[in-house]
Amino acid sequence: MKAFRSLIASSILAVALSAISPAVQAQGQGTSGSPAQTRPIEPEEFLRLAYSSASLQGQAAKLAASRETRPEVKSYAATAADFRLDLLQRIEAFAKARGLRLPSVKEFEHQVIIENLEPLDYLALSRRYAEIQVQALDQELTIYRAGSQSAHQEIKSFADQVLPELQKQREGAQKMYEAVRP
d(CA 52, CA 88) in angstroms, rounded, equals 9
At 181, is the secondary structure helix, strand, or coil? coil
By the 8 A CB rule, do 166 and 90 touch?
A: no
pLDDT at residue 103 in the model: 87
Specify the CATH number for 41-180; select among 1.10.10.1800, 1.10.1740.10, 3.40.50.300, 1.20.1260.10. Answer: 1.20.1260.10
d(CA 30, CA 33) in angstroms, rounded, equals 5
Q: Which of 47, 40, 161 is nearest to 97 (CA)?
A: 47
By the 8 A CB rule, do 106 and 55 touch?
A: yes
Q: Please indicate, yes or no, whether the overall pTM of this predicted structure exceeds 0.75.
A: yes
pLDDT at residue 109 in the model: 86
What parts of the chain have a pLDDT lower than 50?
A: 1, 3-36
Q: What are phi and psi of 103, to 5 degrees?
A: -65, 140
Averaged confidence pLDDT in the chain = 84
d(CA 176, CA 171) in angstroms, rounded, equals 9
Q: Which of 1, 2, 11 is nearest to 132 (CA)?
A: 11
